[in-house]
A and B are shown apart, each in its own frame.
Chain A
Amino acid sequence: MVALLEKEFFLSEILGRKVYLKSERVGKLDDFVIVETGKLPEVTHLVVSRSFGYPSLLLPWNKISLISNTEIVANVDSVTPYENPVPESAILLKAHILDKKILDMDDHEVEVVYDVKLALQNDTLYASEVDFSRNRLLRRLGLKKIANFFARYYQENATVSWIYVQPLPEKIGMFKGHVKLKVLKENLNEIHPADLADILEELDSDQRLALFTELETELASDTLEEVEPRVQRELISAIDLEDAAQLINEMSPAQAAAILSILPTTKAEQLLLLIDQESAPNVQRIIEQHDECILLYVTQSFIKLPPIWLAKDVINGYRELARDKDVIMYVYVIDDHNRLLGVVDIREIIMASDDQTLAEIMSDNLINLSPADTLYDATQMFERYSFRAIPVLDDDDHILGVVRFKDIRGIKPRLS
């Protein structure tokens, strides 16, 4: 049974407080060990630092009998059983949480944890909130009057319940829990790759790798395409070759070439041997020969239908038509000889009457690339028209493939 003068207090207020074993002073409170159990983490141990080179103590919470404004008293007779190092896997409030970054998933900003609120309930001490307000920072700096001034005039709602603050991976000890996410870990895989890329760029190396390895393969691959080259290099270099090859296999040859071209030659060569051998020659050609012929960047996986199809039949069968296709936002209307007649945006099909044929709805004013065009030409065309995909046609309007904007975005053409 522990006696606390205040049911709630802040971490910064209690750190450094003198610790007594019954009546003998032994050291100062250095940190708390917490374990995540359900909604709020519980304090399990106190870390007590001692002077003159004596080892720190790891005092179990259930041995603490009193926490007052000036002291902490433990109901133990001898220090010897408690001269234990802090386990590697332990989460420490001061070392791992205080002053560390917290990612706000709503705003994608990086806040700093200035303090942690602790609350006693049923003899258990919980970490209930993290505080990243300026008020807490000012108090920690000893500027209480200024902090009170701000509190009176500026309402700053900058605390968040620990319920929304989750550690990243389960092996939190590995990177010492420097980051907490303001979203449940299970939702990580629902975040858009572009947003994940922003987050990864904000983190330091250990945190970045820990987050990246938690992602599902397809999401990791998409996210890798979005991050800046420096971060791409770092991540690819840090993971196993086989895992890296798996990520690269999820990409188009264009994106794969863009990533491999920024790696050291030996690494790129090793990866080329491991990636899917059907696309490896294309990737290799793009990297080595600076070949930027647009046909290297096309996909054959798109929806093509004859002009006689009705809008309602396209809508009804869309799920099957679009399954496993790379380009699903457009329907390419072709004749019996695979010649492109027109293009329909899926939105136009949805807006059309049920009995309208694709031929009635389609745009016959074709904007297309030709086989002789290069990556540069494609980039120019995407910039001009803002399409999500552009078909490549030969002189007789046969459709040779479709270039997705996604596949060439961010790639700098070397030839112009």
Chain B
Amino acid sequence: MNRGKAYKLAALAAAHKTRAIILLKNGDHEGARKEEVAFLDRIEYIPGRLRQEIGPFLDASVQIKLNTVGMERNSRQGLVK
């Protein structure tokens, strides 16, 4: 997998993660769970050698998306270990 593909998957994963956080905050646990599953599906495809590299990007993507809806991230949620 090339680096760009890894970033793209990470970006898509970040979108799922952001939606999961927002849904959870709004009390929609079922919806949040589905988004978390989708998040993990994306992350799974990223080769291990690239996961560490794109970790900061993933975090930053989630934060920037939350900022656009006026939310802060409460807990540090990096990649699944």
Contacts and interface: CB of A to CB of B under 8 A. Distances in A.
Interface stretch (B30-38, B56-64, B72-80): B56-64
Nearest to B10: A359
Contacts of A335: 3, 7
A357 B65 CA distance: 9
A357 B11 contact: yes
Interface of B: 2-5, 7-8, 10-12, 14-15, 57, 60-61, 64-65, 68-69
A349 to B, nearest CB: 14
A310 interface: yes
Contacts of A340: 4
Given A310-B64, A362-B4, 10 more contacts: A307-B7, A308-B64, A333-B7, A357-B61, A357-B65, A359-B7, A359-B57, A359-B61, A362-B7, A364-B8
A291 interface: no
Contacts of A341: 3-4, 7-8
Most buried by A among B4, B5, B8, B60: B4
Contacts of A308: 57, 60-61, 64
Contacts of B3: 335, 339, 341, 397
Interface string A335-360: 10001111000000000001111011
B2 A307 contact: no
A247 to B, nearest CB: 39
Nearest to A362: B8
A360 B68 contact: no
B68 A342 contact: no
B12 A366 contact: no
Interface string A373-404: 00000000000000000000000010000000
A41 to B, nearest CB: 63
B25 to A, nearest CB: 16
B70 to A, nearest CB: 12
A359 B2 contact: no
A31 to B, nearest CB: 72
Contacts of A357: 11, 14, 61, 64-65
Interface in A265-324: 307-308, 310
Contacts of B10: 359
Contacts of A366: 2, 4
Contacts of B61: 308, 357, 359
A364 B68 contact: no
B57 A307 contact: yes
B60 A364 contact: no
B69 to A, nearest CB: 8
B5 A364 contact: yes
A397 to B, nearest CB: 6
A335 B64 CA distance: 17
B11 A397 contact: no
B3 to A, nearest CB: 6
A342 B8 contact: yes
B11 A360 contact: yes
A333 B64 contact: no
Contacts of B5: 364-365
A187 B15 CA distance: 50
A192 B69 CA distance: 44
A341 B68 CA distance: 24
Contacts of A310: 64, 68
Contacts of A397: 2-3
B2 A364 contact: yes
30 contacts: A307-B57, A308-B57, A308-B64, A310-B68, A333-B4, A335-B7, A339-B3, A340-B4, A341-B7, A341-B8, A342-B4, A342-B7, A355-B69, A356-B15, A357-B61, A357-B65, A359-B7, A359-B10, A359-B11, A359-B61, A360-B8, A362-B4, A362-B7, A362-B8, A364-B2, A364-B4, A364-B7, A364-B8, A397-B2, A397-B3
B65 A355 contact: yes
Contacts of A307: 7, 11, 57
A161 B68 CA distance: 59
A225 B44 CA distance: 51
A360 B18 CA distance: 13
A200 to B, nearest CB: 44
Nearest to A364: B4
